[in-house]
């Protein structure tokens, strides 16, 4: 497989059957094992999965590669991504960990995300892994050694206790609807919320249920949660993506609250003068009074800049908060920190959100061939004339001091994304329509 890099925006992702063959997954296991040895990391390796159909097979082949290289592998079962990071801090006997998950992308796709050296691996680590893979791929025929994995549940258990420890109790007697989408937070988030004294209504909270690959940046993916909050007269709702590192909230009126807003609310309260967030996040974060440092899209870029700037908090538009003591996207910790601030304010969730000015950010995506990226960007430059442009990641064109449109290719899936924001909802929607029309003409859809 001739590749420049195995990695997209976050981890390695692709078709579960065509890319993540047993041989490829086995080779990746060997690759990560060699990477850990090269970095002087000695100990066990933990592997967790999301509940999609292909995850157990990929886990077995990947773990076999780790075992072939001499590592003892602990099978953490279905576990949230942040739990697979936290286990490195909770139990130093682990040299590294890996999550088998495609996050929000379609069920027939999947991925791998790696943790080592106490955090999510960074871009310089990805380059090392790329090189190792090229050197060792297909040198050893796939050998199934998965039967000697050690069953374990310490990742989820330690993470649950960690989340409870971060709560500033007591909380009000809230009624809450939690919807993990039958994903990796299904056993964790409801348990934590009950430990915190809340009246919990579960929705789509079974890892044996229908798997939902949904996007926390798409309001329509949480329609059932919105409706349930209203019918149950709950104080708010909490929704997760498939692997549990992103979270969104629904207020007591059934309104979907974008991750940009919960991130900005947390940024206001964060220690320090700076907050880090990608180029596609709402400009509402500039209203927090913090120095805003913009990066490329992707948690590894946010983490790298947080470390450089000494920032205590960063976040992405998808509801993934990143805290300096963990340095990876964490939906559960984000949930707890939002509840801490809400409890201190002693008001409704809608009043909490209303402390920020209102911007309207519209976003959508078009499936396409990656080879068309430069053509789309070139056409957008000619078609949209603004007061300034930014090319941190994709092409962001400011039409005024408060209205912008962003053209950006996903690196995780063959999707081209368009974002548009304005203080006027109609203007944001108009910009999005025009941007999508430009993309679709080139793509032929």
| Residue 226 confidence (pLDDT) | 98
Angstrom distances, CA of residue 82 to CA of 14, 235, 237? 21, 26, 21
Average pLDDT value for residue range 344-366: 94
Q: Is the pLDDT of residue 1 over 70?
A: no
In this prediction, residue 412 carries a pLDDT of 74
307 Cβ contact list (under 8 Å, min separation 6): 327
Q: What is the pLDDT of residues 172-218, one digit of tens each?
A: 999 999 999 999 999 999 999 999 999 999 999 999 999 988 889 88
DSSP state of 329: B
Examine the pLDDT at 222 and tell me if it is beyond 90: yes
Cβ contact 212:222 at 8 Å: no
pTM of the model: 0.93
Q: Which helix (H) or strand (E) holds 348?
A: none
Domains and CATH numbers, the chain: 12-157 (3.40.120.10), 166-353 (3.40.120.10), 360-443 (3.30.310.50)
* Cβ–Cβ < 8 Å for 387, 324: no
- Cα 330 to Cα 245: distance, rounded to the nearest angstrom: 5
pLDDT tier at 51 (50, 70, 90 boundaries)?
very high
Question: What's the length of the chain?
Answer: 445
* Residue 206, C-beta contacts closer than 8 angstroms, at least 6 positions apart: 182, 186
CA separation for the pair 286, 302 (Å, rounded) = 16
Tens of pLDDT, residue by residue over 64-119, are 999 999 999 999 999 999 999 999 999 999 999 999 999 888 899 999 999 999 89
**pLDDT-derived band of residue 2, with 50, 70 and 90 as boundaries?**
very low
**Average pLDDT estimate for 36-45:** 97
The dihedrals phi and psi of 117, each to the nearest 5 degrees, come to 60, 30
pLDDT tens per residue, range 131-155: 999 999 999 999 999 999 999 999 9
- Of 289-298, 344-353, 407-416, which gets the smallest average pLDDT? 407-416
- For the cut 90, the answer to whether the pLDDT of residue 3 exceeds it is no
* CB proximity list for 295: less than 8 A, separation 6 or greater: 276, 277, 278, 279, 301, 302, 304, 305, 392, 393
**Cβ atoms within 10 Å, residue 440:** 14
Q: What residues are annotated to the active site?
A: 103
pLDDT value of position 413: 76
What is the residue whose two structure tokens read 């999005």? 432
Closest-CA residue to 154 (of 55, 88, 63):
88
Phi–psi pair at 79, nearest 5 degrees: -150, 150
Give 2-5's long-range contacts (Cβ < 8 A, gap of 24+): 3/130, 4/130, 5/126, 5/127, 5/130
Mean pLDDT, residues 295-306? 94
- For residue range 362-407, what is the model confidence (pLDDT) as tens digits? 999 999 999 999 999 999 999 998 999 999 999 999 999 999 999 9
Mean pLDDT value across the chain: 95
| 171 in Cβ contact with 196 (< 8 Å) | yes
pLDDT tens for residues 226-283?
A: 999 999 999 999 999 999 999 999 999 999 999 999 999 999 999 999 999 999 999 9
Judged against a pLDDT cut of 80, whether residue 445 lies above it is answered with no
CA nearest 72: which of 54, 96, 48, 91?
96
Q: Per the omega criterion (within 30 degrees of 0), is the bond before 191 cis? A: no
């Amino acid at each position: 497989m001739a590749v420049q890099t195995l990695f997209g925006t976050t981890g390695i992702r692709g078709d579960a059957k065509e890319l993540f063959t047993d041989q490829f997954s086995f080779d990746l296991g060997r690759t990560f094992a060699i990477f850990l040895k090269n970095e002087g990391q000695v100990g066990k390796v933990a592997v967790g999965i999301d509940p999609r159909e292909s995850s157990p097979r990929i886990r077995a082949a990947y773990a076999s590669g780790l075992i072939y290289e001499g590592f003892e592998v602990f099978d953490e079962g279905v576990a949230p991504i942040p739990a697979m990071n936290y286990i490195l801090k909770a139990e130093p006997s682990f040299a590294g960990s890996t999550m088998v998950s495609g996050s929000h992308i379609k069920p027939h796709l999947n991925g791998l995300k790696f943790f080592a050296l106490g955090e999510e691996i960074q871009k310089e680590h990805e380059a090392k892994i790329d090189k190792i893979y090229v050197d060792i791929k297909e040198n050893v025929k796939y050998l199934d050694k998965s039967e000697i994995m050690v069953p374990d549940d310490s990742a989820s258990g330690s993470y649950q206790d960690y989340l409870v420890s971060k709560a500033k109790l007591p909380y009000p007697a809230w009624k809450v609807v939690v919807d993990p989408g039958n994903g990796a937070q299904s056993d964790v988030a409801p348990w934590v919320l009950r430990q915190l004294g809340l009246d919990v209504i579960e929705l789509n909270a079974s890892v044996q249920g229908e798997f939902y690959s949904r996007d926390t940046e798409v309001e329509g993916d949480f329609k059932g949660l919105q409706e349930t909050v209203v019918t149950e007269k709950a104080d708010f709702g909490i929704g997760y993506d498939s692997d549990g590192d992103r979270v969104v909230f629904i207020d007591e009126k059934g309104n979907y609250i974008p991750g940009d807003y919960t991130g900005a609310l947390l940024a206001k309260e964060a220690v320090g003068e700076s907050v880090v967030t990608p180029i596609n996040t709402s400009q509402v974060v500039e209203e927090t009074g913090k120095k805003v440092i913009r990066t490329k899209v992707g948690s590894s870029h946010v983490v790298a800049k947080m470390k450089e700037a000494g920032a205590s908090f960063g976040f992405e538009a998808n509801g993934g908060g990143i805290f300096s003591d963990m340095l990876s996207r964490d939906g559960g910790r984000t949930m707890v920190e939002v509840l801490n601030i809400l409890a201190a304010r002693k008001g409704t969730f809608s009043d909490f959100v209303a402390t920020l000015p209102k911007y309207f950010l519209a976003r959508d995506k078009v499936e396409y061939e990656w080879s068309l990226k430069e053509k789309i960007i070139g056409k957008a430059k000619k078609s949209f004339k603004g007061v300034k442009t930014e090319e941190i990641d994709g092409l962001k064109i400011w039409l005024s001091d408060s209205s912008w449109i962003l053209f950006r290719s996903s690196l995780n899936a063959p999707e081209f994304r368009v974002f548009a924001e304005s203080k006027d909802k109609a203007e944001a929607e108009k910009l999005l329509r025009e941007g999508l029309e430009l993309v679709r003409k080139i793509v032929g859809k």
